Structure 1
Amino acid sequence: MLILYVAPRYHTNQIPITEGLLKAGYQVRFLAMYKGVSENYEALKPDILKTPIILRTVYKIIRKRRGEVYAENWMLRNYKPGYIQILNYLRTSKPDIVILRERSRQSRIVHACCKLLGIRNVILYNQNPINADEWRGKRLKQMLAKIVFPKVRYSPVKYVNLLNSSYSSPTIPVNSHAYFAPFVQEVNIIPEEKKYVKDGIIRILDVGKYRDYKNHKILVEAVSLIKERKNFHITIVGQVSNEDEQEYFDSLASMIQDYNLQGKFTLLKNIPYRRMKELYTDHDIFVLPSKKEVASISVLEAMSNGLCTISTDNNGTAFYVLEGNAGLIFDNTSAKDLASKLVYFLGHQEEISYYGKNALNYIRENCGFEKYLERLRHIVRKEFKSDI
């Protein structure tokens, strides 16, 4: 049984899925557009599509003029693999199940090639909430999407906007072919061995690329409101792989200096994936301050290491924190609200371990690989009348 995943790149959230499937005896391949900077290929090395010369040339020009981030987003929007390349790849690999990431040009072409070759077990994976009406006001696009993309979809996100006063949690998705399948995250620490607030210092961790949307600066603003507090320290870990990210990193460091908070913050960059466990283990609280996060995997990584979590409300995985009673949610536009959440834990240290242990229990019961495989089997059985 060969399962083929197709996505722009081999994201770190694919690692536990790949490892679990391989351990369970499945064959796994991954077809990607490009290699990312902070990827780990210990379990699987992805196959990389060839980029047309014209597209590579335009990409280099845009990167030089507009920066790496803009060029990367442009490539994601405009990349279109050749039909012959995809057909040859599918004929050679002979996948039993194909899982496509997002409704993109890449996915559209791969899906068309699957149809030509009679590969019927094709599933779309995205991170839109399963109860979302993806096509509200876009009925023409919906009609076209039904033709060029798989009708079956799964997502690791149930619902978002948890602080919205009109928020509700429908149990039945709008699309009957939309399913929930959790992010795969195993518990990474023995609960009894997790030590909180060592030496009387509360250690807070923030993980995210050094880019504006990650909103690290709101955390600095929040700390500036409570800087008289003495019993905490914050570590920010992020990727710096281009001029844009270096510029943001430098700006963040300057902001910390301007607020005279050098003693409160440590900034780290380009930490290897396998070293992250040590950082999670050494910290007590995890903060995700992003302006908008489709579905942060770092929240799950933090929970799996027993960290009490404070998540922005505009994050697709915030519901894991809510359902697991694993921390608090804050308004991503308010440094004052974030500061109030920090103050609460600084003044109630016993709550840190309470939420941290809840996080471990939730991950163990809801996010293990077997839960993901169970949901995938359910989807294949119900939609394609077959088994894996």
Structure 2
Amino acid sequence: MKILFIAPRFHPNQIDLVRKLKEENHEVFFLVLNFGPSEDHRLLKPQAIPVLKSIGKFNIEPLNNSMNYFKVLPHPSEYFRILKNIKPDVVILRGGMRSFYSKLLLGYSFRKNLKIICYTQMPQYLGKKDLRKKLLNLFETGVSQFKTYTPVKYNAKEGAFKKLNNLDYIPFFVYPNTKEIKEISENEKMHFLCIGKYEERKNLKLFIQIAKALKSAKFDFKITIIGGADSEKRLKYHDYLSSLINEFDLSQEIILLKNVLKKNMFKYFEAAHVFILPSRNEPASISQLEAMSYGLPIICSIDNGTAHYVKNELNGFLVNPDQEEVLKAMNNYLLDPGLVAKHSFKSLELVNSDFSINSSYQKFIQFLKK
């Protein structure tokens, strides 16, 4: 099958999906509006969507990382030429009908009888009677009559109240990366890992106060934070956190890294004992599942669409994204290091059962063929 993805960028949460599709002898293409500094293009080199630089006498602002992608206008004839050359069997579209690249594709599909599928991060089950989400779902899928899938089954913060029948749930794809259970020796420093862009909603600042408290309590620990700083705003936030670390003399306890290449991330997962994701208002994240594939226990905010990937008190802890609850969960491991191995075993078990790469692939292909 010839599969074309069209999205704002080649997000890391698509890498293992692309890898699996290629291993199963599908032809895979990716059209994007922009490229991130830490993207991994070893499997596939995305092609840029040609965009208009002007309309008549009016110039259009160049695309940058702070722009709203959905306002970018592709160059119609060049865009259609790419579609014609690829001749996909199916197009997987990120963003529903909100973007201009989607609207142009819709017009093209009517003429060419092109099969289009939408990918969203809206939960399959709504947690409450949320009119805004229902309307958004209808706009993205019902109005256009496209089949849609999501990696989010329900929001752990809100629970599962009502199923949206036009959404299929297919979890993120991830390959198992180890069979070894994480263990920590008696005198070993406990190493916590966090991954997230350098922006406020990722809630990284709380690690400053947490590190101060743990240092005061004489715990032996290290926190490594790895994040994207691909815009001036994110770089400023990184520098702000760095200044706080220096101000409170925490440079031995907190390590900040930015724009680490995807292909180099494995060594940080392998070196860590526990993974933490404290973000707020997170539609969906794959990083906790990646961490589970390395056998890491997980501390995850419940304000995250894919928090349900973590089984509370079995392979980690689901917490409110505040200092008190994150610190309490970290203390559980610091005070009982044996818990790391117990939760590590369960993380590996889940990756090979609930999130089996082969099972996810079969669901995906069956969905495409429906």
Q: TM-score, normalised by structure 1?
A: 0.86
- 2:120 — aligned with what? 126
Are the counterparts in 2 of residues 83 and 113 from structure 1 also a CA contact under 8 Å? no
Task: Within 5 Å, give how 1:1-388 maps onto structure 2.
Answer: 1-54=1-54, 58-60=60-62, 72-103=65-96, 104-105=98-99, 106-119=101-114, 121-132=115-126, 136=131, 145=140, 149-162=144-157, 167-169=158-160, 173-174=163-164, 176-191=165-180, 194-197=182-185, 199-227=187-215, 228-322=217-311, 325-332=314-321, 334-382=322-370
Are the counterparts in 1 of residues 36 and 230 from structure 2 also a CA contact under 8 Å? no
Amino acid of the structure 1 residue aligned with 2:334: L
Once residues 161 and 141 of structure 1 are traced to their aligned partners in structure 2, the CA distance between those partners, rounded to angstroms, is 20
Once residues 190 and 368 of structure 1 are traced to their aligned partners in structure 2, the CA distance between those partners, rounded to angstroms, is 14
* SS class of match (2:304): coil
Question: Residues 177-215 of structure 1: CA distance to partner in whole angstroms, max 9, x if unpaired?
Answer: 2101110011101225x4435742110001112222211
Are the counterparts in 1 of residues 194 and 277 from structure 2 also a CA contact under 8 Å? yes
Are the counterparts in 1 of residues 65 and 231 from structure 2 also a CA contact under 8 Å? no
* SS class of match (2:43): coil
* SS class of match (2:333): helix
Identical columns (%): 27
Note the C-alpha offset of 1:324: 9.2
* SS class of match (1:366): coil
Note the C-alpha offset of 1:139: 7.7
* SS class of match (1:216): coil
Amino acid of the structure 2 residue aligned with 1:108: K
* SS class of match (1:129): coil
Are the counterparts in 1 of residues 52 and 60 from structure 2 also a CA contact under 8 Å? no
Note the C-alpha offset of 1:18: 1.0
Once residues 315 and 147 of structure 1 are traced to their aligned partners in structure 2, the CA distance between those partners, rounded to angstroms, is 25
Query: Which blocks of at least 5 consecutive residues in structure 2 are unaligned?
Result: none
Aligned alpha-carbon RMSD (Å): 2.5
Once residues 360 and 251 of structure 1 are traced to their aligned partners in structure 2, the CA distance between those partners, rounded to angstroms, is 36
Are the counterparts in 1 of residues 141 and 166 from structure 2 also a CA contact under 8 Å? no
- How has the CA–CA distance of structure 1 residues 45 and 359 changed in structure 2, closer, same or farther, with 3 Å as cutoff? same
Once residues 46 and 315 of structure 1 are traced to their aligned partners in structure 2, the CA distance between those partners, rounded to angstroms, is 28
Once residues 233 and 137 of structure 1 are traced to their aligned partners in structure 2, the CA distance between those partners, rounded to angstroms, is 41
Q: TM-score, normalised by structure 2?
A: 0.90
Once residues 250 and 244 of structure 2 are traced to their aligned partners in structure 1, the CA distance between those partners, rounded to angstroms, is 9
Note the C-alpha offset of 1:284: 0.3
Are the counterparts in 2 of residues 99 and 125 from structure 1 also a CA contact under 8 Å? yes
Once residues 303 and 324 of structure 1 are traced to their aligned partners in structure 2, the CA distance between those partners, rounded to angstroms, is 14
Equivalenced residues, count: 364
- How has the CA–CA distance of structure 1 residues 241 and 57 changed in structure 2, closer, same or farther, with 3 Å as cutoff? farther
Structure holding more helix per residue: 1
* SS class of match (2:205): helix
* SS class of match (2:256): strand
* SS class of match (1:116): helix
- How has the CA–CA distance of structure 1 residues 323 and 98 changed in structure 2, closer, same or farther, with 3 Å as cutoff? farther
Once residues 53 and 204 of structure 1 are traced to their aligned partners in structure 2, the CA distance between those partners, rounded to angstroms, is 45
Are the counterparts in 1 of residues 151 and 171 from structure 2 also a CA contact under 8 Å? yes
Note the C-alpha offset of 1:370: 1.7
> Structure 1 runs of 4+ off > 4 angstroms?
55-58, 137-148
Once residues 251 and 137 of structure 2 are traced to their aligned partners in structure 1, the CA distance between those partners, rounded to angstroms, is 51
